[in-house]
Amino acid sequence: MKGPPEALRKDFPRVSTAPETGRNGPGRRAIVSPVLIRLLRTHLRPYRKPVALLVLLQFLQTCASLYLPTLNADIIDNGVVHGDTGYILRFGALMVGISVVQVVCNVGAVYYGARTASALGRDVRGAVFDRVQSFSARELGHFGAPSLITRTTNDVQQVQTLVLMAFTLMVSAPIMCVGGIVMALGQDVPLSGVLLAVVPVLGVAVSLIVRRMRPLFRTMQTRLDTVNRVLREQITGNRVIRAFVKDGYEEERFRGANAELTDMSMATGRLMALMFPTVMTVVNVSSVAVVWFGAHRIDGGGMEIGALTAFLAYLMQIVMAVMMATFMFMMVPRAEVCAERIEEVLATGSSVVPPADPVTALDRRGHLEVRGAEFRYPGAQEPVLKDVGLVARPGETTAIIGSTGSGKSTLLGLVPRLFDATGGEVLVDGVDVRVLDPALMARTVGLVPQKPYLFSGTVATNLRYGKPGATDEELWHALEVAQAADFVRKLEHGLNAPIAQGGTNVSGGQRQRLAIARTLVQRPEIYLFDDSFSALDYETDALLRAALAEETADSTVVIVAQRVSTIRDADRIVVLDEGRVVGTGRHRELMADNETYREIVLSQLTEAEAA
């Protein structure tokens, strides 16, 4: 995550704090959502001093603005009416001085407001990012990548914008409104009766419109998630779309999602457009009323011309304060929804919890055992894995095979804690993986996932992902073992050849071999290969397995595969069927007495080839 400018980082150090749990229920009608208030209070707490200075500057500049109409009234009544030029010059100079103070305070308030809002946005984004990084596969699947991206970027930006506007506009609005009323009363009490009608009417009109905007903004953020999801699917699955000639269908699908977002944006836009005409109508009517009644007061001798001018200025200041508050209230509903979505991520704990007292050293080297493991997804009627047990020893290759959906990848994911077993134990060197230090786990267990992922960068940066200090010789050795050295040498820049996000600029087989090489560079004690040879041709597969056998001779190797030829020479083959272990042994033993394994083998090989 890109950090803030150096000056901002120095003055406002990043603060990572976890907010309190809880969400604002749909039936709550508070002016500002408690979730938004809690989020701001939590993340603004470290910046109390800048906020206090900002409020002081806003107070001074607002007081200066409120005092200017009174000075103007004095100049008219005591200087202009009586032709006293000296009086006009003296008080005119005072007005200039107060105006300078007002400008300086306003600039300072905006400066500190912008810096504090930026620091808040940085901290909230950092908190969301840190929490997402702690999620297991279960939580990531619950939210979905498009929604998490929207919450980390757009939702945080909405809250940050609200805070910026609050610091630059909202802080001065109540001071100006209350101060304007007090100063107007000082000019003429009977005429101030107009304010008794204006302020409540404005408040009721604004609150009614804002209340209707809240559910619309919530729906709009959800539909923005949908647009992101559809667009992400279409970009990622571009080749599939072209292969099946579904361009028209996907265009229509995106057009539908985009139209739904547009319709909701139009609905909120119509409400927002209604806000300013409503406020301006009340303003204009009240101005006419003030002039009408003020003229009668002047004609009766109960009011001076300067006082009427000052009263009109205070009326405009009061209305401007209400308009600033109106502008803020237009932003509040969307920021509330965004705050609730951010809070939902921050309040979600990972199902894979780091150990409180982690084990930081292991006695043995690479012994893996699964005892009675069970795994059940939340809300599922049946567990994916049921009482699974296996042992994988150093110097041996253990293979796991089974039909699609039998739980092979899920079983392998329990070892590096992509998710935790809901029953039973997974032991590495006799220690439950749930109490192992995560750093020790990363050094001990190396996983090559079923869908290998490469990061944007170069071949070298991807290979060094698990071991940043690896030398070029180590990288080339890993590439040789992974049968990837030849094609890397043919690239224009070799190890420094660019790799696109996800490895989309290399083939599926090349991507798999680079992912295998990345794990080999790390040199863990336990290697987990989750169907990592499926994109390779038979010759490359055979060469890679032969090289791996020599490279990992003293390590524990666990292979999940669909191809029988990949695992037939394994020291131990574990057969899974519907989440249960239905057979364990070598190839010949299982062919003789395990019907499930025999069916899998004969679906790929002839009887003679299997023998």
Residue type, 566: T
pLDDT attached to residue 245: 81
pLDDT attached to residue 422: 86
Does pLDDT of 180 surpass 50? yes
pLDDT-wise least confident of 105-109, 323-327, 375-379, 549-553: 323-327
Does pLDDT of 543 surpass 80? yes
pLDDT attached to residue 259: 92
Asked if residues 286 and 319 have their Cβ atoms less than 8 Å apart, the reply is: yes
Does pLDDT of 365 surpass 80? no
What average pLDDT does the segment 320-337 reach? Answer: 76
> Which residues lie below 8 Å from residue 41, measured CB to CB, with a gap of 6+?
none
> In this structure, what DSSP letter does residue 577 have?
E
d(CA 355, CA 146) in angstroms, rounded, equals 30
Does pLDDT of 568 surpass 50? yes
d(CA 451, CA 511) in angstroms, rounded, equals 9
d(CA 567, CA 574) in angstroms, rounded, equals 10
Alpha carbon distances (Å) from 148 to 132, 154, 236: 8, 10, 17
* Closest residue by Cα to residue 346 from 5, 2, 23, 6: 23
d(CA 93, CA 114) in angstroms, rounded, equals 32
What does the block give as tokens for 218? 């919530």
pLDDT digits (tens, 9 = 90+) for 447-462: 998 888 889 899 999 9
Query: Of residues 566 and 378, which shows the higher confidence score?
Result: 566
Asked if residues 560 and 412 have their Cβ atoms less than 8 Å apart, the reply is: yes
What average pLDDT does the segment 515-519 reach? Answer: 92
* Closest residue by Cα to residue 432 from 340, 539, 521, 358: 358
pLDDT attached to residue 3: 40
Q: Which pLDDT band, with edges at 50, 70 and 90, does 32 fall under? A: low
Query: Of residues 351 and 148, which shows the higher confidence score?
Result: 148
- Of all residues in the chain, what percent carry a pLDDT higher than 90? 17
What does the block give as tokens for 246? 């579904």
> Which residues lie below 8 Å from residue 429, measured CB to CB, with a gap of 6+?
362, 363, 364, 365, 366, 367, 444
- Tally of CB atoms within 10 A around 607: 10
pLDDT attached to residue 11: 43
- What does pLDDT average to over the chain? 82
301 by DSSP, 3-state: which? coil
pLDDT attached to residue 115: 92
pLDDT digits (tens, 9 = 90+) for 200-246: 777 777 777 777 877 887 788 788 888 888 888 888 788 788 888 88
Q: Which pLDDT band, with edges at 50, 70 and 90, does 472 fall under? A: very high
pLDDT digits (tens, 9 = 90+) for 43-83: 999 999 999 998 899 889 888 888 888 887 778 777 776 67
Asked if residues 117 and 167 have their Cβ atoms less than 8 Å apart, the reply is: yes
Residues in the chain: 611
Q: Which pLDDT band, with edges at 50, 70 and 90, does 475 fall under? A: very high
Does pLDDT of 6 surpass 50? no
Alpha carbon distances (Å) from 318 to 173, 183, 312: 8, 10, 10
458 by DSSP, 3-state: which? strand
What average pLDDT does the segment 525-551 reach? Answer: 86
Does pLDDT of 433 surpass 70? yes
d(CA 105, CA 67) in angstroms, rounded, equals 15
- Tally of CB atoms within 10 A around 55: 16
d(CA 237, CA 505) in angstroms, rounded, equals 14
- Of all residues in the chain, what percent carry a pLDDT higher than 70? 92
488: left (phi over 0), alpha (psi -120 to 50) or beta: alpha
Q: Which pLDDT band, with edges at 50, 70 and 90, does 17 fall under? A: very low
pLDDT digits (tens, 9 = 90+) for 395-426: 889 999 988 888 888 888 899 888 888 889 99
What average pLDDT does the segment 306-328 reach? Answer: 76
pLDDT digits (tens, 9 = 90+) for 258-274: 999 899 888 888 887 88
Does pLDDT of 503 surpass 60? yes
What average pLDDT does the segment 581-602 reach? Answer: 88
pLDDT-wise least confident of 39-48, 121-130, 323-332, 550-559: 323-332
pLDDT digits (tens, 9 = 90+) for 184-195: 777 777 777 777
